Amino acid sequence: MVQAPPNQVFAVLADGWSYAGWVVGASHIREVDAEWPTLGSRIHHSIGPWPLQVRDVTVVRGVEPGRCLELQAGMWPFGAARVVLTLEPVGTNTTRVVMGEEFVHAPARLLPRVVQEVLLRPRNTEALARLASLAVRKQSPA
């Protein structure tokens, strides 16, 4: 649960420059398409620690502002993952964020679904905690 309304949580997702702040493994944002997060727009990022960073992209595959964002996240050399973030209001100032992720391109796609879930669960738990921190901080008065 995030102690912020869905529109505030979505504001973090809609800020492509904040991507490396909540996505575990993303280390540097090189460019964000001006129309982010519209369908087909991209974040050009690097993953991994310096100096071993790899350039990749994340593409919006579906969007319902304030409610849902579906991404295809490049994770070279593992392939790419489909990530769906769904925001559900709980009361007036709380949001349940559900994050689903699965590998959609080889080689990681070849892993059984149950193995993917075991590998991705800790990463996604941390990503949701970071997203929550950014959303709550964004809501706080400066």
Instruction: Per-residue pLDDT tens, the chain, 142 aa: give them.
Output: 999 999 999 999 999 999 999 999 899 999 999 999 999 999 999 988 888 888 999 999 999 999 999 999 987 676 788 999 999 999 889 999 999 988 776 666 667 777 777 777 898 999 999 999 999 987 655 5
Domain presence at residue 95: yes
pLDDT for 108 equals 66
Query: By the 8 A CB rule, do 96 and 88 touch?
Result: yes
Q: For Cα atoms 38, 69, 139, give the angle at the middle one, nearest 5 degrees.
A: 95
User: Whole-prediction pTM value?
Assistant: 0.88
The per-residue b/e assignment along 50-63, b for 16 or more CB within 10 angstroms, e otherwise, is eeeeeebbbbbbeb
pLDDT in the model for residue 118 = 74
Q: So what's the pLDDT on residue 109?
A: 66
When divided into structural domains, the chain yields a total of 1
Could you list the residue range(s) of the whole structural domain that residue 120 is in?
A: 6-81+88-139
Specify whether the CB–CB gap between 109 and 103 falls below 8 A: yes
Tell me what pLDDT residue 141 has.
Answer: 55
Report CA-CA distances (Å) from 27 to 56, 88, 89: 11, 28, 30
The answer to whether position 1 is within a domain reads: no
Which residues touch 31 (CB under 8 Å, ≥6 apart)? 43, 44
Nearest alpha carbon to residue 54 among 74, 32, 33: 74
CATH (domain of 93): 3.30.530.20
- Taking Cα atoms as reference points, which of 88, 75, 89 lies closest to residue 120? 75
Residue 29 lies in a domain: yes
Position 66 in a domain? yes
